[in-house]
Amino acid sequence: MTKSLALLLAASAAATSGVAAQAAGTYEGAAPSPTQSRNTTSNVSTIVDVHISARAIDNAPDGYVPTSVNCPSDRPAIRNGTTLSDQEKEWVVQRRNETIEPMRELLQRISIPDFDAEAYLKDAESNNTKVPNIGLAFSGGGSRAMLSGAGAMAALDSRSVGSDADGNLGGLLQSSTYISGLSGGGWLVGSIYVNNFTTVADSVSSGNIWQFQDSILEGPEQYALLDYYTSILEACEKKAAAGYERSITDYWGRMLSYQLINATDGGPGYTFSSIADDDDFKNHKAPFPFLVAVGRRPDEKIIPINSTVYEFTPWELGSSDNTVHGFAPLRWIGSNFTDGEVPKDGDCVNGFDNAGFVMGTSSSLFNQIVLYLNDPNSGYLPDSVPSVAVDAVTSVLDAVGSDNDDIADWTPNPFKGWNPDENYNADEDRLTLVDGGEDLQNVPYHPHILIEREVDVVFSFDNSADTEMQWPDGASPIATYERSLTNISEGTGFPAVPDKNTFINKGLNSRPVFFGCDASNTTDPSPLIVYIPNYPYIFQSNTSTFKPSYNESERDAMIENGWAIATQLNGTRDRDWPVCVGCAMLSRSFDRTNATVPEACQTCFDRYCWDGTLDTSTPETYQPDYYGTALDIESGALRRVAAGAYTVLGAGMVALMMI
């Protein structure tokens, strides 16, 4: 038993049921609701039982703790990141074949006038020249982005009830080769994949995960508060005791896991690399997932122009940017790599790549929420949060310093000594990563715009809070476009997009828009970008990035609105939207094969392609109105603790960014 666990147990024995009573007493006003019936019955002995009997081993050797195991016969090594891995190339051939049938079905349902999808894709299995190569991207923006993105994902998922109805787009998810998420969008993609490529509907109805009525400072209601903190502290403590740097992201990632991973205690032994063992992934039944983070050394400032973008895949962590050009095998991170390999006398480690830690890394901006534990004077912290938890966080904070609150520590740096001519971090023992949106590229386009991946089209869902009223204004694609004009973007291509004022003045942030329609107008080959911004079809979905909790009806309204965003309210805003989605899918394919573009598609391109014109005048405050009938929902009475915490947080962070 670790020291802090022992302390916690001692403290809890003294407090006994008082802890529980206080936990229940931290809510304000509001009639009693199911969310208030936290399990208050467990006591010390049951906590211990839970930890002995219920901690799953999963595929990490020792739960959350990175642990030495036998080295494989091929010693883990860094791969040259100037090209795609052979593993990916082989996997993708199979995946693309798997996308053909769903694509046929979708295109048939969409039924582009005067276009015979069946004939067009007739020989697709033997010759994939015509087959669209599709990517999906889900932006950051906290729970807003996760829920709004979830609605969009559900709309594109043929497994969703009603996704094949008129005006709907079910099957686009199954037609996609790649999918990326970042920060809040990374919670979405990560949660779906870590839970065996489950569906949004099943996640919502599971009762275990996605229970956003419970703030993360208190954990899901089915866990006694004490159990929650005991498990989190113990895991982080043990990782530190095993000799690994412990950062706030460890606490944050563990907390996040309770919301996102469908396993006891948020699956301390679930690794991100274990996704590669899932049947769906192995059999190419799901798109290839990426989570995105950014490299930031302590005391360094990052901007799109010079950020190094790191990708997590089930196989690897690394960067194709010319500031690293290397990928480490994810499963073996935690080993001491030197000059690109684990030396002959070095140990091989598994279990570092905890799935919650990966999702926490991509969203490390939200570490600030954990930080809040360290501010007992605010008056908002529940008395019931064990002082040991506060002490643990305080000691970590003292060690890292407040300038580095947002850092996830991936030490030992797997890229130490790797590619010293280019690698900005080759001399360092530490690899420190931050939230993927901190370089303002809040939509994770990067994996899709690698020229070698040959992605034809990216359907991108931007749930950023850029404007005063927390709507997107194109800042994310602008950041990626600006980056594409610099040296660091070598090997990628992204189309021209206009300035923020033009986005607003021309309504490019209030309905879907296509960028890069004319493939010949970019210096480097780039996918067609379908930009789909957050918009209030039936719910005011511009909730604060730091909104601490969503009751069930708010959660469901966000998801329904997200569905409406993807489908333009089931095609009611534009009857032709499904046809235009089909045309966007096929646009680069038409170019490639010099096919005659169907007239209906030409109409779509006229309607949705940005024509290159600007209107840079200063716009009025952007305040979109409902398109459809507003959903009538019961809004949640915020819990005092969380509401206060996040308000303080939100105010303090506006200057930092508005993702």
Ligand X SMILES: *[C@@H]1O[C@H](CO)[C@@H](O)[C@H](O)[C@H]1NC(C)=O
Closer to ligand X at the Cβ: 181 or 491? 491
Closest approach, Cβ 628 to ligand X, in A, equals 6
Whole-angstrom Cα distance, residue 143 to residue 390?
A: 24
Kindly state whether residue 419 participates in binding ligand X, applying the rule CB under 6 A.
Answer: yes
Give the E-state strand segments of 454-594 in sequence order.
457-462, 513-515, 528-533
Which of 87, 97, 96 has the alpha carbon at shortest distance from 314?
87
Closer to ligand X at the Cβ: 14 or 377? 14
Kindly state whether residue 130 participates in binding ligand X, applying the rule CB under 6 A.
Answer: yes
Closest approach, Cβ 129 to ligand X, in A, equals 4
578 prior amide bond cis, ω within 30: no
Kindly state whether residue 222 participates in binding ligand X, applying the rule CB under 6 A.
Answer: yes
Closer to ligand X at the Cβ: 196 or 540? 196
Site residue total, ligand X (CB under 6 A): 59
Considering only residues 534-563, where is the footprint of ligand X by CB under 6 A?
A: 538
Closest approach, Cβ 25 to ligand X, in A, equals 18
The one segment of 138-146, 197-205, 248-256, 465-473 that binds ligand X by CB under 6 A: 197-205
Whole-angstrom Cα distance, residue 309 to residue 424?
A: 12
The one segment of 198-206, 440-448, 575-583, 633-641 that binds ligand X by CB under 6 A: 198-206
Closer to ligand X at the Cβ: 2 or 222? 222
Taking CB under 6 A as the rule, which mask of x and - marks residues 448-487 in contact with ligand X? ----------------------------------------
Closest approach, Cβ 198 to ligand X, in A, equals 4
**List 28, 90, 277, 280, residue binding ligand X (CB under 6 A):** 280
Considering only residues 329-358, where is the footprint of ligand X by CB under 6 A?
A: 335-336, 346-347, 349
Kindly state whether residue 573 participates in binding ligand X, applying the rule CB under 6 A.
Answer: no
CA distances from 180 to 292, 316, 348, 435 (A): 7, 14, 29, 14
Helices then strands (H, E): number in the chain?
Answer: 20, 14
**C-beta separation of 352 from 336 below 8 A:** no
The H-or-E segment that residue 295 falls in is strand 288-295
DSSP label at residue 654: T
The one segment of 121-129, 364-372, 377-385, 461-469 that binds ligand X by CB under 6 A: 121-129
DSSP label at residue 160: S
Considering only residues 36-95, where is the footprint of ligand X by CB under 6 A?
A: 39, 41-43, 45-46, 50, 68, 80, 82, 94
Closer to ligand X at the Cβ: 367 or 413? 413
Give the pair of three-digit tokens for residue 547.
């909104």
φ, ψ of residue 560 to 5 degrees: the values are -60, -40
**List 122, 301, 378, 469, residue binding ligand X (CB under 6 A):** 301
Closer to ligand X at the Cβ: 390 or 426? 426
The H-or-E segment that residue 434 falls in is strand 432-435
Q: Is 13 exposed, middle or buried (0-12, 13-18, 19+ CB in 10 A)?
A: exposed
φ, ψ of residue 326 to 5 degrees: the values are -160, 150
The H-or-E segment that residue 187 falls in is helix 184-194
For β-strands 288-295 and 308-312, DSSP reports them as antiparallel
DSSP letters spanning 203-214:
HHHSSSS--TTS
Give the pair of three-digit tokens for residue 572.
């009611």
Considering only residues 154-173, where is the footprint of ligand X by CB under 6 A?
A: 162, 165, 168
Which of 234, 257, 227 has the alpha carbon at shortest distance from 44?
227
Give the pair of three-digit tokens for residue 34.
């199911």
**List 29, 32, 34, 243, residue binding ligand X (CB under 6 A):** 243
**C-beta separation of 143 from 151 below 8 A:** no
Closest approach, Cβ 356 to ligand X, in A, equals 15
Closest approach, Cβ 40 to ligand X, in A, equals 8
Closer to ligand X at the Cβ: 239 or 546? 239
Closest approach, Cβ 652 to ligand X, in A, equals 22
Kindly state whether residue 97 participates in binding ligand X, applying the rule CB under 6 A.
Answer: yes
Which of 60, 61, 131, 56 has the alpha carbon at shortest distance from 92?
131
Give the pair of three-digit tokens for residue 28.
């304000």
Per CB under 6 A, residues contacting ligand X are 39, 41-43, 45-46, 50, 68, 80, 82, 94, 97-98, 101, 125, 127, 129-130, 162, 165, 168, 195-196, 198, 202-203, 206, 208, 222, 243, 262, 279-280, 300-301, 303, 306, 335-336, 346-347, 349, 412, 419, 424, 495-496, 518, 521, 538, 564, 569-570, 593-594, 610-612, 628
